[in-house]
Amino acid sequence: MINELDYYYKKHPESKIQDFIKYVYQKHFGPGHFIVEANHAYNLLMREADALEPVAFREDIYDYVGDVYARVNLRPYVSYGFDLRELSAWFVSSGGAPENREDFTADLEELRAYLIGKRFSKDEFDALTARFRVLDWRPFSHTPHYRNAYHPAYRLINRKFITDELRFAQFRNFLRSFPPDELSLIAIRGGDEGMLTKCCERAAKELPVTVIDQNRFNAGVEFDRQSHQIVLVKGAAPGKCAAAIYFDDGKNPDHRKYDCDLIV
């Protein structure tokens, strides 16, 4: 789980101990403790979406939370025109998974060692987990510090509901963060080679993007640097490019790559 925690920490460096614990909690238990009647869940989601305010940073459309769940971030989800009723249905359908307290406890121990290694307070971690344990791990929120830094607004769903269209939007949303008047080299790998190929082919049609293989790139192949400011290099090592994207197949967590800037 160490690489997974490193990836989470890189994306959310303002996280406090409670926020890390919440991540591990959601990884194991999903949204089950929040699930309500379907119409009520939808009405709550609509009210939250109507009250959204913009943030000064780019948000990914979703963030995977372990092997089973994903946080779908409402601001980019809504801005790309995706259906809130569908998201609400996914949210409701994602509840009720069986709980495995043993695996959760094991991951908490690994998280404890990880955070102590990052110079977080051992006493604070122990006090928080003791308090949550007494409360039988009832729902708890992000810390005020995290909320002020990231203004989180999301729904936790089973990652099986992440569609190909959402995955392409995740990919496109990331590419749009690069300046349109500068050359940007981005390493892409998978995982899911089929989804990687589909996203690259579609991006090449809809965006100023060139896709080349690592071997051709290393051989000095020429490409149109004026009309294609983003060059996607298939198979390139992350350290050789400005950013890296990994296409996850969702089936081989032991082989998942976290040394990247985005997981699709």
Write out 138-169 in H/E/C secondary structure: CCCCCCHHHHHHHCCCEEEEEHHHCCHHHHHH
- 155 and 174 inside one domain: no
219 has a pLDDT exceeding 70: no
Helix (H, G, I), strand (E, B) or coil at 184: strand
Contacts of 7 (CB under 8 A, 6+ apart): 258, 260, 263
Q: Which structure tokens are listed for 110?
A: 């690994």
46 has a pLDDT exceeding 90: yes
CB atoms within 10 A of CB 118: 11
pLDDT number for residue 212: 87
Q: What does the pLDDT average to over 243-262?
A: 91
Amino acid at 53: E
- 136 and 21 inside one domain: yes
CB atoms within 10 A of CB 197: 14
Sole residue written with tokens 């089936």: 251
Q: Which of 125, 141, 161 is the last residue of a domain?
A: 161
pLDDT interval class at 223 (50, 70, 90): low
Q: Which structure tokens are listed for 177?
A: 């963060």
- 127 and 246 inside one domain: no
Of residues 47 and 256, more confidently modeled: 47
- Distance (Å, rounded) from C-alpha 228 to C-alpha 246? 21
- Distance (Å, rounded) from C-alpha 12 to C-alpha 10? 6
**Cβ(170)–Cβ(83) below 8 Å:** no
Q: What does the pLDDT average to over 15-34?
A: 91
What DSSP state is assigned to residue 98? Answer: P
From edge to edge, which strands make up the β-sheet containing 262-263? 209-213, 230-234, 184-190, 243-247, 262-263
- 19 and 58 inside one domain: yes
- Considering 177-181, 216-220, 224-228, the range whose residues carry the highest mean pLDDT is 177-181
pLDDT tens-digit series, residues 76-86: 999 999 999 99
pLDDT number for residue 57: 93
Lowest mean per-residue pLDDT among 33-37, 86-90, 103-107, 197-201: 33-37
User: Total domain count for the chain?
Assistant: 2
Q: Which of 139, 161, 183 is the last residue of a domain?
A: 161
- 47 and 74 inside one domain: yes
Of residues 183 and 15, more confidently modeled: 15
- 134 and 92 inside one domain: yes
- 146 and 38 inside one domain: yes
- Distance (Å, rounded) from C-alpha 184 to C-alpha 167? 21
Domain of residue 16, residue span: 2-161
Cα dihedral sign, 160-199-55-111: positive
177 has a pLDDT exceeding 70: yes
- 137 and 190 inside one domain: no
pLDDT interval class at 173 (50, 70, 90): very high
- 223 and 256 inside one domain: yes
- 26 and 119 inside one domain: yes
Q: Which structure tokens are listed for 13?
A: 């460096």
pLDDT number for residue 139: 83
16 has a pLDDT exceeding 70: yes
Q: Which of 161, 196, 225 is the last residue of a domain?
A: 161
